[in-house]
Amino acid sequence: MKQSRKQHDVNIGVGQQLTLTIKNLGINGEGIGYYKRKIVFVDGALPGEVVRAEVTRSERKYAAARLLKVLEQSPERIEPPCPLYHECGGCSLQHLDYQAQLVSKQALVEESLRKYAGLEHPPVAETIGMEHPWDYRNKAQFQVGQKSGKLIAGLYKPGSHELVNLSDCPIQHQETNRIVAKAREIMEKLQIPAYDERKRSGVVRTIVARVAFATGEAQLTLVTAVPAIPRVKELILELRYQIPSLVSIVQNVNPQKTSLVFGSTTNTLWGKPSIVEKLGTLSFDLSARAFFQLNPSQTIKLYDEVKKAAQLTGRELVFDLYCGTGTIGLWLAPFAKEVRGIEIIPEAVEDARKNAEQNNIANISFHTGKAEVLMPKWAKQGLKPDLVVVDPPRTGLDAALIDTLLAVRPERIVYVSCNPSTLGKDVGRLLAAYDLRNVQPIDMFPHTAHVECVILMTLKGASS
């Protein structure tokens, strides 16, 4: 233990320059190297590279450093296609060949399961990627500001409050790019001002454009700091004329000093309050604030992997926990006897019920509450699930829910994860009663460090 403490206490000063060999990638896409056994994170460095880096932060257990020069380059390093890649911060892996990105994501999941679950050889399959890993995001959410007297829309530079104007983002669906660009152009022409946080003046805070891949319907939402938009009739006419794909123009009012994008008031300025998207045979109405997966083509692959892991025969009672608007439960319902979705957000439960009704799926119900409360209550009534599907946020499963799963003991658990670290920790606890059968990583967000996984765990002693 003393030796371990000494390793962590290696003195590295801010401003110090280090030569490092990069061993692997971290959870945020940063290169990981070691200086006298102390971990050093270097943004932009790749595994196998030898780099020169300057320390920007030094803590007891780790240091962070800025890449100065690549001394020995990885053969998988490429020139990022996006000219704003190094400024924008929306992507973190465009400088890594796409096939190598998929390999690195598989390795990240394996390492998390080794580190946190204690599994020496976790059963992790190759990452399912995209044939064309561009133009995949169905929603653009760009902040609005002023720069040199011009209206701009984009994302903040990492670690700063400097807005980078994005006129053509290569990971966005091209129609969302076009909608944002046209909306910005029209607002500038009509002299509708951007909101200035410091001065607490102006109108438009955020432009949100969403397009339905299956139907082509598009929605524009303007998030404003004040209820009244100047020259709003002219604005609507121009938007309708210049963007024919729009079927919905919406205003959301957020007067608060907050980092949250949306406020509580939403008004339809023109057209429908929502757009229609389809996944497989399912249809969904998407209002301005409704959550929906950002990469529809990969979402179908993800849900098919959930269905494959679920191994349904039509006789099962399925509990869908953290069910959100019910998409996974609805995907599984035709193959199960009954599905019950549980979600703590009442608005999401309402949307889920509407989705079930719209798709004429009668063997599914949605319940507002905590799974760790409802599951034991139902178990006492004799309702024990054959399969539990969990799709938690990045923080992973609530500790009380893990205790409940270990007490209720469904035969199978399918876990949909968006964070390998919390997945590893949760699997480690569930191993008390379950075996890990397989892990399937899926690349939902090419050119970023995010990786989604579908895992199957079966009760020890149960048939696989």
Q: Which residues are part of the catalytic machinery?
A: 418
Q: Which two tokens stand for residue 238?
A: 């121009």
Contacts of 269 (CB under 8 A, 6+ apart): 232, 236, 249, 250, 251
Q: Which two tokens stand for residue 92?
A: 């973190």
| Cβ density class 43-81: b for 16+ within 10 Å, e for less | bbbbbbbbbebebeebeeeebbbebeebeeebebbeebe
In whole angstroms, what is the distance from residue 126 CA to residue 111 CA? 14
- Provide the edge-to-edge strand list for the sheet that holds 364-368: 364-368, 338-343, 317-321, 387-390, 412-417, 452-459, 434-442
Q: List 153's β-bridge partners, or say none.
A: 144
Q: Could you give the 3-state DSSP secondary structure of residue 405?
A: helix
The one-letter amino acid code at 346 reads P
Q: Could you give the 3-state DSSP secondary structure of residue 135?
A: coil
Q: List 224's β-bridge partners, or say none.
A: 204, 253
In whole angstroms, what is the distance from residue 199 CA to residue 115 CA? 48
The one-letter amino acid code at 309 reads A
Q: Which two tokens stand for residue 257?
A: 């000093």
Q: How far is CA 247 from CA 238, 270, 448, in A?
A: 14, 8, 31
Q: Which two tokens stand for residue 341?
A: 């979705």
